[in-house]
């Protein structure tokens, strides 16, 4: 019924059940132990070699964007994190998006739909700075270098209520339910 969809560009490639089981497991992170792939494999009846080969294929086919240490900016001194949203003419949004993405302090840059009348913005990026001043200087640099004349808004982050890896398979739908989802919990405000 509820299956993981892989909307590959040519629409032909699908994930098999073992891929889905593996994805469910690695969503919450790799174990920190000497043989993490073996440890993952033991939970889903897969050899260490097969786990490695499948992760490699998920990377090659673009399902996995990157794998490694996932850092938390705020705890590492980046106190000023903001979502900057722009109302860019549709015909220019790709050009501006590609330009914004080059900056080192940008971690995400997406086009999303406007939601009128409440929300006229169609381009979103996340910027990071040690202070608000630094973040705003970074923003000025982007505006200047990308020659942006579009209206924008800066939505600084205040509290983080929750940060974790994505869970694509809801607990109830997975035969490996016990292993994929951490107990429901609310992180305290910082």
Partner 1 sequence: MNLTAIEKRLLNEFQHDFPLVPRPYAEIASSLGVSEEFILEALEKLQKAKAISRVGAVFTPNRVGVSTLAAMAVPEDRLDEIAGIVSEYVEVNHNYEREHDFNLWFVLTAANEEHLQDVIGDIEENTGYKLMSLPLQEDYHIDLGFNLQWT
What the block records as the tokens of 47 is 């050899």
Q: Please, which of residues 146-185 interact with partner 1 by CB under 8 A?
A: 153-171, 173, 181, 184-185
| Among the listed residues 14, 17, 92, 110, the single contact to partner 1 using CB under 8 A | 110
- 3-state secondary structure (DSSP) of residue 44: coil
Q: To 10 degrees, what angle do helices 48-60 and 36-43 make?
A: 100
User: What is the total count of residues that contact partner 1 (CB under 8 A)?
Assistant: 91
> Quick one: 149 or 154, whose CB is closer to partner 1?
154
Angle among Cα 69, 55, 35 to the nearest 5 degrees reads 65
* HSE-CB for 172 with a 13 A CA cutoff: 2
CB 97 → partner 1: shortest distance, Å? 4
Residue with tokens 């020659």: 147
Q: Binding to partner 1 by residue 12, rule CB under 8 A?
A: no
Q: Binding to partner 1 by residue 14, rule CB under 8 A?
A: no
CB 186 → partner 1: shortest distance, Å? 4
What the block records as the tokens of 101 is 């993405």
Task: Lay out the site mask for partner 1 across 36-75 (x = CB under 8 A, - = otherwise).
Answer: xxx---------x---x--xx-x---xxxxxxxxxxxx-x
CB 78 → partner 1: shortest distance, Å? 8
User: For residue 132, which of 107, 103, 156, 104 has the smallest C-alpha distance?
Assistant: 156
Q: Binding to partner 1 by residue 128, rule CB under 8 A?
A: yes
């Amino acid at each position: 019924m509820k299956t993981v969809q892989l909307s590959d560009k040519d629409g032909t490639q699908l994930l098999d059940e073992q891929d889905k089981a593996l994805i469910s497991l690695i969503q919450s992170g790799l174990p920190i132990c000497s043989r993490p792939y073996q440890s993952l494999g033991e939970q889903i009846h897969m050899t260490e070699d097969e786990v490695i080969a499948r992760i490699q294929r998920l990377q090659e086919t673009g399902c996995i964007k990157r794998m490694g240490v996932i850092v938390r900016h705020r705890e590492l001194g980046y106190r000023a994190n903001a979502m900057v949203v722009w109302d860019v003419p549709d015909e220019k949004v790709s050009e501006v998006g590609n330009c914004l993405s080059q900056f080192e302090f940008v971690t995400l840059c997406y086009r999303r739909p406007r939601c009128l009348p409440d929300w006229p913005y169609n381009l979103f990026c996340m910027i990071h700075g040690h202070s608000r001043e630094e973040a705003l200087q970074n923003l000025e640099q982007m505006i200047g270098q990308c020659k942006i004349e579009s209206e924008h808004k800066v939505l600084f982050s205040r509290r983080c209520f929750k940060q974790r890896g994505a869970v694509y398979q809801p607990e109830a739908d997975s035969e490996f339910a016990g292993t994929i989802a951490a107990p429901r919990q609310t992180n305290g405000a910082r």
